[in-house]
């Protein structure tokens, strides 16, 4: 295996595009090294992004935030302004693995690993986040939900890598929240995950919402019916019931070692209700 450590995005792209073998991007490495260890990956080369300064920064952009592909979960959690704007995205990213894993793991890596149970992805999808892709033909911005196409598979083309995740500007009285269900209190992969992002008007009525679910389908689901259950309401009990029902209806999970179909369908609704209440409170609505 070759270890490559470019210092510019251009170098990285050219190395990635020019390599003839199995060449992987190494951001935090907390998924890639596990795959290598478990014989699920045996790359010919890895390209470490962490020596590219621009990819290690959290930068304001167009009223929102640009988070470099090599920024760790811990660094996001320590960034007060980012946490204030996007508490749900940060809390979701901070749920990936242990404190130790937080020191390395990245949102972009979590996205490209393309696990349906990735914690940060439902939060990014609910946030309307965009992935900035660098490739041989230049740069393009793509909604994050279009990146994973199935377990372990992405829409990235040969030579492309994600250089940053962009989070949009927040209107007033907006907030997001992410909850996941795991058997223990830490260290597990989400059995179900749910993110809610919403905006309230001055009266506390929901004017915009996005709701997404993790680990209930081959990719993270954006659930418009669930968002519609909230929009135009004060996120009261009937709205929450409708939200839960919409999420349970949208969930199309499988039975596996982490949970059953029935369990995931039911808990998708439970988590949606609880996440919406947290987001409502964060946005300044009823506690």
Partner 1 sequence: MSKIHVTTSVNGDPTEFLCEADETLLDALRDRLGMTGAKEGCGTGDCGACSITVDGRLVCSCLMLGAEAEGHEIGTIEGMADGDQLHPLQRKFIEHAALQCGICTPGLLVAAKSLLERNPDPSEEEARYWLAGNLCRCTGYDKIIRAVMDAAQEMREAS
Partner 2 sequence: MALDDKQQYQAREFKVVGTRVKRPDGIDKVTGKARFGADMSAPGMLVGRVLRSPHAHARIVSIDTSAAEALAGVHAVVTRADFDEITGDDATADILDNCMAGDKALYDGHAVAAVAASSAAIAKQALKLIKVDYEVLPHVTDVDAAMETDAPALHKGRANESVPAGMSANVLSRYEFGHGDIEAGLAKADRVLERTFRTEATHQGYIEPHACLASMGADGQADLWCCTQGHYMVRNVCAAIMGMEQGQLRVTASEIGGGFGGKTTVFLEPVALALSRKTSRPVKMVMSRSEVLRATGPTASSSVDVRIGMTKDGRITAGFAELRYQGGAYPGSPVEFGAMSAFAPYDLENVKTIGWDVVTNRPKQAAYRAPGAPMAAYAVESAVDELAKGFGLDPLAVRLKNAAREGTRASYGPTFPAIGLEATLRAAKDHPHWTAPLGKNQGRGVACGFWFNFGGDTCVSLNITPDGTVTVSEGNPDIGGSRASMSMMAAEELGIPYEQVRTIVADTGSLGQNEVTDGSRVTFAVGLATIEAARAAKREMCKRAAMTWGIDEDAVKWEDGAAHPAGENAGKHPPMTLKEIAAIASNTGGPIAGHHEANPEGAGVSFATHMVDTEVDPDTGAVKILRYTVFQDAGKAVHPDYVEGQFQGGAVQGIGWALNEEYIYGDDGVLQNAGFLDYRIPVASDLPMIDTVILEIPNPGHPYGVRGVGETSIVPPLAAVANSVSEAAGVRLTQLPMSPPRVLRALQAK
Residues that bind partner 2 (CB under 8 A): 37-38, 181, 183-189, 191, 257-260, 262-263, 266-267, 270
**Least distance to partner 2, CB of residue 65, Å:** 29
Judged by CB under 8 A, the residue of 14, 79, 103, 152 near partner 1 is: 103
Is residue 192 classed exposed, middle or buried when 0-12, 13-18 and 19+ CB atoms within 10 A define those classes? buried
**Least distance to partner 1, CB of residue 174, Å:** 28
User: No. of H helices and E strands in the chain?
Assistant: 11, 14
Give the residue ranges of DSSP H helices in the chain: 9-18, 32-37, 73-77, 80-85, 87-93, 99-102, 107-112, 120-127, 224-230, 237-250, 261-282
186 touches partner 1 by CB under 8 A = yes
In the complex with partner 1, which residue's Cβ is closer, 103 or 135? 103
In the complex with partner 2, which residue's Cβ is closer, 141 or 262? 262
Picking from 218, 197, 203, 207, the residue whose alpha carbon sits closest to that of residue 272 is: 197
First to last CA, the chain: 54
**Least distance to partner 1, CB of residue 117, Å:** 15
Beta strand pairing status for 206-214 and 161-167? unpaired
The site partner of 113 among partner 2, partner 1, none (C-beta below 5 to 8 Å per kind) is none
The site partner of 101 among partner 2, partner 1, none (C-beta below 5 to 8 Å per kind) is partner 1
C-alpha to C-alpha distance for 217 and 196, rounded to whole angstroms = 17
Question: Tokens at residue 262, please?
Answer: 């029935």
Would you give the binding string for partner 1 spanning residues 20-59, x where CB under 8 A is met?
------x-xxx--xx-xxx-------x-x-x---------
In the complex with partner 2, which residue's Cβ is closer, 134 or 191? 191
Question: Which residues form the interface with partner 1 (CB under 8 A)?
Answer: 1-3, 5, 26, 28-30, 33-34, 36-38, 46, 48, 50, 72, 74, 97-101, 103-104, 185-187
């Amino acid at each position: 295996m070759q270890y490559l450590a470019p210092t510019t995005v251009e170098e990285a792209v050219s190395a990635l595009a020019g390599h003839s073998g199995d060449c992987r991007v190494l951001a935090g490495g907390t998924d890639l090294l596990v795959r290598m260890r478990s014989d699920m990956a045996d790359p010919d080369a890895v390209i470490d992004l962490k020596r590219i300064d621009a990819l290690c920064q959290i930068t304001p952009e167009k009223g929102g935030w640009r988070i470099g592909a090599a920024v760790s979960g811990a660094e996001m959690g320590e960034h007060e302004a980012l946490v204030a704007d996007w508490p749900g995205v940060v809390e979701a990213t901070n749920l990936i693995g242990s404190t130790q894993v937080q020191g390395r793991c990245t949102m972009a890596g979590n996205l490209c690993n393309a696990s349906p149970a990735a914690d940060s992805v439902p939060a990014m999808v609910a946030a309307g986040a965009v992935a900035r892709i660098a490739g041989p033909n230049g740069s393009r911005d793509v909604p994050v939900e279009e990146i994973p196409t199935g377990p372990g598979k992405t829409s990235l083309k040969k030579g492309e890598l994600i250089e940053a995740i962009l989070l949009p500007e927040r209107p007033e009285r907006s907030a997001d929240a992410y909850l996941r269900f795991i058997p223990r209190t830490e260290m597990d992969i989400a059995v179900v995950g749910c993110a809610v992002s919403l905006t309230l008007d001055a009266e506390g009525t929901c004017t915009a919402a996005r709701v997404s679910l993790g680990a209930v389908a081959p990719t993270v689901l954006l659930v418009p019916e669930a968002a519609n259950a909230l929009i135009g309401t004060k996120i009261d009990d009937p709205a929450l019931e409708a939200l839960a029902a919409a999420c349970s209806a949208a969930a199309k999970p499988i039975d596996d070692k982490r949970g059953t179909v029935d369990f995931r369908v039911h808990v998708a609704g439970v988590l949606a209700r609880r996440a919406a209440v947290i987001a409502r409170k964060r946005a300044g609505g009823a506690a």
